[in-house]
């Protein structure tokens, strides 16, 4: 029996920031792999996260899952504006209360001109510039000199991005590949952090799960396993955590932080009936 199925399928095809390619985009089609898993595994609880998208795409997802999404801005629990949709059958979820966390409180040094960071996405590693920052309102920067002097700025450090996602400092700094610890490059850290869930939003959602003990959790598109961070923070005790992920750096980071995770590989290649049979044997 699967107690919880979670996932945030790659969203570029749905995103307002992307080209609106919708369900024909191969990355968004992975949503249907989530639906397939849901149909076969019949978990007690499920959670699907995605970006804010055109209403017609949102409705297709809602029809497939049988529930409407709750919209939550990560800014309520962190110093980052990140509006996301969450479809779940976990009962009674209310939006989190505003914790009042400000960007100036989480940066290591320098100064900022906003209370909340712009959303960190998987392109953040490309860096920003003043024009883009002030005109397009994206790619958060930190001023290293007072605003009155000439503008000197830097990108957010990876640990600041970790803080924006409610992860511990250096959560993504080291990975494990072939049993050996490896240093993860800043570029990879930014990509994974830009893709990640804001852990405390998920913690908040999981806190509404009535059960304290869960046997089997299945996480699709697991990334750096923010799902496990959230389960821990919500005080949920779980026996097995099965993760489907293909990115070697994300898997490496998960191996470092959660060595007991069972990695299932590419979601498109998983036969969920076989998976269920094997799970019963364990
Ligand atoms: C939006 S991110 C999800 C991140 C995750 N929620 C977290 O908190 O880190 C989507 C993830 O799906 C992964 N992915 C892409 N294609 C996949 C596939 N065929 N099977 C499994 N994972 C895949 C990507 O590598 C990426 O890490």
Between helix 272-281 and helix 31-41 the angle, nearest 10°, is: 40
**Domain carrying residue 94:** 4-100+201-281
Task: Establish whether residue 7 lines the binding site of ligand 1, counting it when its CB lies within 6 angstroms of any ligand atom.
Answer: no
Task: Establish whether residue 48 lines the binding site of ligand 1, counting it when its CB lies within 6 angstroms of any ligand atom.
Answer: no
Q: Is residue 152 part of a domain?
A: no
Kindly tell me if the per-residue pLDDT of 14 is higher than 80.
Answer: no
Q: Is residue 119 part of a domain?
A: no
| Tens-place pLDDT, residues 231-247 | 999 999 999 999 999 99
Task: Establish whether residue 221 lines the binding site of ligand 1, counting it when its CB lies within 6 angstroms of any ligand atom.
Answer: yes
What's the rounded mean pLDDT across residues 222-237? 98
Q: Is residue 49 part of a domain?
A: yes
Task: Establish whether residue 10 lines the binding site of ligand 1, counting it when its CB lies within 6 angstroms of any ligand atom.
Answer: yes
Q: Is residue 180 part of a domain?
A: no
Among 79, 111, 257, 278, which residue's Cα sits nearest to residue 184?
257
What's the rounded mean pLDDT across residues 216-236? 98
- What length is written for the chain? 282
Burial 206-239 (b: 16+ CB within 10 A, else e): beebeeeebebbbbbbbbbbbbbbbbebbebebe
Q: Is residue 186 part of a domain?
A: no
CATH number at residue 16: 3.40.50
Q: Is residue 157 part of a domain?
A: no
Phi, psi of 88 (to 5 degrees): -155, 155
CB of 227 closer than 8 Å to CB of 6: yes
Q: What is the pTM of this model?
A: 0.94
Q: How far is the CA of 137 from the centre of ligand 1 (A)?
A: 26
Q: Is residue 9 part of a domain?
A: yes
Number of domains observed in the structure of the chain: 1
- Give Cα separations from 177 to 223, 232, 265 (angstroms): 15, 24, 15
Task: Establish whether residue 244 lines the binding site of ligand 1, counting it when its CB lies within 6 angstroms of any ligand atom.
Answer: yes
Q: How far is the CA of 7 from the centre of ligand 1 (A)?
A: 8
| Tens-place pLDDT, residues 121-158 | 999 999 888 888 999 999 999 998 766 666 789 999 99
Q: Is residue 171 part of a domain?
A: no
Task: Establish whether residue 195 lines the binding site of ligand 1, counting it when its CB lies within 6 angstroms of any ligand atom.
Answer: yes
End-to-end, the C-alpha distance of the chain in Å comes to 12
């Amino acid at each position: 029996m699967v107690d919880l199925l979670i996932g945030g399928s790659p969203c570029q095809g749905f995103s307002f920031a992307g080209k609106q390619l919708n369900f024909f985009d191969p990355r968004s089609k992975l949503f249907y792999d989530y639906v397939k898993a849901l149909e076969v595994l019949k978990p007690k609880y499920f959670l699907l996260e995605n970006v804010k998208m055109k209403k017609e795409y949102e409705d297709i997802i809602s029809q497939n899952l049988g529930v409407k999404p709750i919209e939550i801005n990560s800014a309520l629990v962190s110093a980052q504006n990140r509006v996301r949709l969450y479809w779940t059958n976990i009962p009674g979820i209310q939006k989190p209360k505003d914790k009042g966390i400000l960007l100036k409180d989480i940066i290591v040094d320098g100064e900022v001109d906003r209370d909340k960071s712009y959303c960190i996405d998987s392109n953040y590693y490309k860096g920003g510039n003043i024009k883009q920052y002030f005109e397009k309102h994206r790619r958060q920067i930190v001023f290293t000199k007072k605003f009155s002097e000439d503008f000197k700025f830097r990108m957010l450090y990876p640990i600041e991005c970790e803080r924006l996602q409610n992860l511990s400092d250096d959560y993504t700094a080291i990975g494990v590949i072939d049993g050996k610890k490896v240093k993860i490059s800043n570029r990879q850290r930014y990509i994974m952090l830009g893709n990640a869930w804001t852990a405390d939003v998920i913690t908040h959602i999981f806190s509404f799960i009535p059960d304290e003990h869960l046997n089997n959790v299945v996480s699709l598109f697991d990334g750096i396993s923010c799902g496990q961070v959230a389960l821990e923070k919500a005080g949920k005790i779980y026996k097995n955590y099965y993760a489907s992920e293909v990115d070697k750096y994300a898997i490496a980071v998960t191996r470092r932080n959660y060595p007991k995770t069972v990695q299932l590989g590419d979601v498109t290649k998983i036969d969920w009936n076989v998976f269920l049979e094997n799970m019963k044997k364990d």
